[in-house]
Structure 1
C-alpha cells in the first residue's frame, strides 16, 4: 500500500474543492488512487477545518457544516481578502452573507421555538397523564372481570340455585 505525503494529499483534496469541484470517481480515475482513500482524505481535511463540501456540487447545495466553516473563515477578513477567498472557493460574497444571515436568524428563531416547545411539552404531559389514567382504569376493569369469572367458577351462577 503506497504512502503519500501530506502535501500530495492536500493537493489532491484541493481538486475536490471549489472552484475545481471534481468528483471523487473522476479524480480516482485521473490519479489512480482508490475512491475509499480519497473519501478518507476528504473527511480528514474537513475535520481539520478545511471547507470541503460533502458532495462536489454548487455552493448553494453545500451541507450546513461546510457553509458554517466558510462563514467562520471569512468572518475576520476584510473585503479584499474575502473576495480572494470567494474566488478560490468558487463562491460569491453574497452567498456567504446569506449563509451568515441564515445562521443568525436560526439563532433568533430559537426563542420563538422555545414557546412552541413549551406548549408541546405541556400538551405531551397532559396526554401522558390521561393515558396513565386510562391504563389504570383498563387494568381495574380487567381485574374485576377476572375476579367475577373466578367467583362464578367457585360458587356458580345464581341461576343454579
Structure 2
C-alpha cells in the first residue's frame, strides 16, 4: 500500500517515514521538549562528573606509581643494586 502510494507520487518510503517523524516531533509541546533537553543535560553533566572523578583517580594512581619508581631508583642507587638483582 505504501509502496504503491510512493510510486504514484514519485516518493521514497524513507521520505514518508521522515515526514511522519517530523510531524510527530512537531506536535510535542514546547514544555515537553524543554523537559527532554533538561533531562539530557542533567545526564550529560552527571556523565562528565563521573569521567572527571575517574580521571582524577587515575592521575593520583599515576603520580603514586611515578613516585614509587623514583624512590626505587634512589634506593637502588644508594645500595648499588640494579633491577635485575632484585628478582
Q: Does 1:104 align with 2:64?
A: no
Structure 1 consecutive aligned stretches of length 4 or more whose deviation exceeds 3 Å: 105-109
Partner of 1:144: 67
CA RMSD of aligned residues (A): 3.3
1:132 deviates by 2.1
Superimposed CA distance per residue, residues 58-81 of structure 1 (whole angstroms, 9 cap, x where no aligned partner): xxxxx4x3231xx6xxxxxxxxxx
* Greater per-residue helix proportion: 2
The verdict on how the C-alpha distance between 1:103 and 1:149 changes in structure 2, with shifts beyond 3 A counting, is: same
Question: Which blocks of at least 5 consecutive residues in structure 2 are unaligned?
Answer: 81-87
CA–CA distance in structure 1, aligned partners of residues 29 and 79 of structure 2 = 71
The verdict on how the C-alpha distance between 1:20 and 1:114 changes in structure 2, with shifts beyond 3 A counting, is: closer
CA–CA distance in structure 2, aligned partners of residues 154 and 124 of structure 1 = 45
Superimposed CA distance per residue, residues 36-89 of structure 1 (whole angstroms, 9 cap, x where no aligned partner): xxxxxxxxxxxxxx4221xxxxxxxxx4x3231xx6xxxxxxxxxxxxxxxxxx
CA–CA distance in structure 2, aligned partners of residues 51 and 107 of structure 1 = 29
Kindly tell me the number of residue pairs found equivalent between the two proteins. Answer: 75
Partner of 1:115: 38
Partner of 1:51: 11
1:19 deviates by 4.3
TM-score by length of 1: 0.37
Q: How does 1:70-85 map to 2 (within 5 A)?
A: none
